[in-house]
Amino acid sequence: MPDQATEEAKSLEGNGGDVSVRTSTPRINRFFEAVTKVEGSDLHIKADAIPRIRKGGKLMQTSSPAMKNSEIESMVKEMLDAEQWHDFAHRGSLDIAYAITPVDRFRVNIFRQRGMISLAARRINPKIPNFAQLNLPPVFEKIAEHEQGLVMLAGITGSGKSTTIAAMLEQVNERRSCHIVTIEDPIEYLYVDKKAYINQREVGLDVESFSDAIRYLMREDPDVILIGEMRDKNTFQAAVQAAETGHMVFSTIHASSAPGAITRLLELFPPDMHTNIRQAIATNMKAIIFQKLVPSIKSGLERVPVVEVMLTSPSVRKYILEGRENELGQVIRSERHAGMIDFNDMLAELVQSEFIASKEAYLASPNPDELRMRMKGIKTAT
């Protein structure tokens, strides 16, 4: 049964799904308007299936009927010029930027599957929440104040990393007269120049590849840099070089903990380079943050971020240089006074403040037994 929020999509196809007749306004706009109205993040359309909207991390059916492949093809052609359609027909996939208003923009991927056309569109959010709106602790404001070095956000896809980095960059935008350059795939938030001057480059639209964007980055005179993802050794080396020459670099990496991000970075390089990489991390890293979104029981709040924050204190640097990443969790717990945050500690606090249910806390915890002890007021020894 369709989610109630999808009632906004009921009028999407008042003619029973027939989109073969062109109108002055592309018919895809009605789907995009529905996504915007329900504050969804993504739209999915494929042949012989009911279109779906992603909201709060979950896909939900719209009330639009399933569409035939010929209908989707007609609708897609309304979005594209002749050259774009030719590229899609030749390659089988196409990325485009699409706007229904100056602020309501989508990054659209059109692709062929099983010989038919599908479409996935990501809404580019025009509203950038601040740390308080995201329910993030005050230490994030201090992390965003750094003017040189590296800040890494770790977590799985859909864990809110991009949103947290956007809040950090928006703080920079509001407080510093500087040049911010972002390399993203795709662009997820649109920034409006305030004190800062911002250029956003999207891979596939503004630049052919991530490596090309990295290659030209330092010629663009940035002060603050967002590299959407640490995906290979060249990307990390470019980030380190930028940090060492006085720039502030933000990026993300797929890892299951803050210390685990160090392991992931080392895996990008052969073993004989690990000593140098450890030195680069220990010297330039300002903070590594692991983040996970957990379902909330708070009224009006679907999910809440739970974070582990590791700041590069002298102890953290020492452990990194000595290859003792597996012991960094102990350092985080022992240096809470310096602003570091232990993941289980934050889970326990969110349960106590009635943001999340204890069941969800145990499911999210990397060590449920330890969390259970903390929930009873018993702290494990460090």
pLDDT band at 39 (very low <50, low <70, confident <90, very high): confident
Residue 194 pLDDT more than 80? yes
Peptide bond into 186 cis (omega under 30): yes
Note the pLDDT of residue 208.
87
Task: Decide: 6 and 72 in contact? Cβ < 8 Å.
Answer: no
CATH topology (fold) of 139-375: Rossmann fold (3.40.50)
The mean pLDDT of 344-361, rounded to a whole number, is 94
Cα separation, 343 vs 329, in Å, equals 9
The mean pLDDT of 377-381, rounded to a whole number, is 48
Lowest mean pLDDT of 89-98, 165-174, 223-232, 270-279, name the range: 89-98
Note the pLDDT of residue 10.
43
CATH of domain 4-124: 3.30.450.90
Share of the chain above pLDDT 90, in %: 75
Note the pLDDT of residue 17.
34
- For 248-304, write each residue's pLDDT tens digit: 999 999 999 999 999 999 999 999 999 999 999 999 999 999 999 999 999 888 899
Residue 8 pLDDT more than 50? no
The mean pLDDT of 158-186, rounded to a whole number, is 94
Closest by CA position to 311, among listed 292, 293, 274, 336 = 336
Q: Average pLDDT, whole number, for the chain?
A: 89
pLDDT band at 24 (very low <50, low <70, confident <90, very high): low
**Residue 49 burial (CB count, 10 A):** 12
Instruction: Give the dihedral of Cα atoms 99, 100, 102, 106; nearest 10 deg.
Output: -40
Closest by CA position to 4, among listed 78, 56, 60 = 60
Note the pLDDT of residue 35.
94
pLDDT band at 158 (very low <50, low <70, confident <90, very high): confident
Note the pLDDT of residue 377.
64
- For 58-84, write each residue's pLDDT tens digit: 899 998 999 999 999 999 999 998 999
Strand partners, 201: 183
State the span(s) of the chain assigned CATH 3.30.450.90. Answer: 4-124
Task: Decide: 340 and 309 in contact? Cβ < 8 Å.
Answer: yes
State the span(s) of the chain assigned CATH 3.40.50.300. Answer: 139-375
Note the pLDDT of residue 73.
95
pLDDT band at 380 (very low <50, low <70, confident <90, very high): very low
Note the pLDDT of residue 3.
45
Note the pLDDT of residue 21.
34
- For 101-136, write each residue's pLDDT tens digit: 888 889 899 999 999 999 999 888 778 999 999 999
- For 199-241, write each residue's pLDDT tens digit: 999 888 888 888 899 989 999 999 999 999 998 999 999 999 9
Cα separation, 301 vs 355, in Å, equals 9
Q: Whole-prediction pTM value? A: 0.80
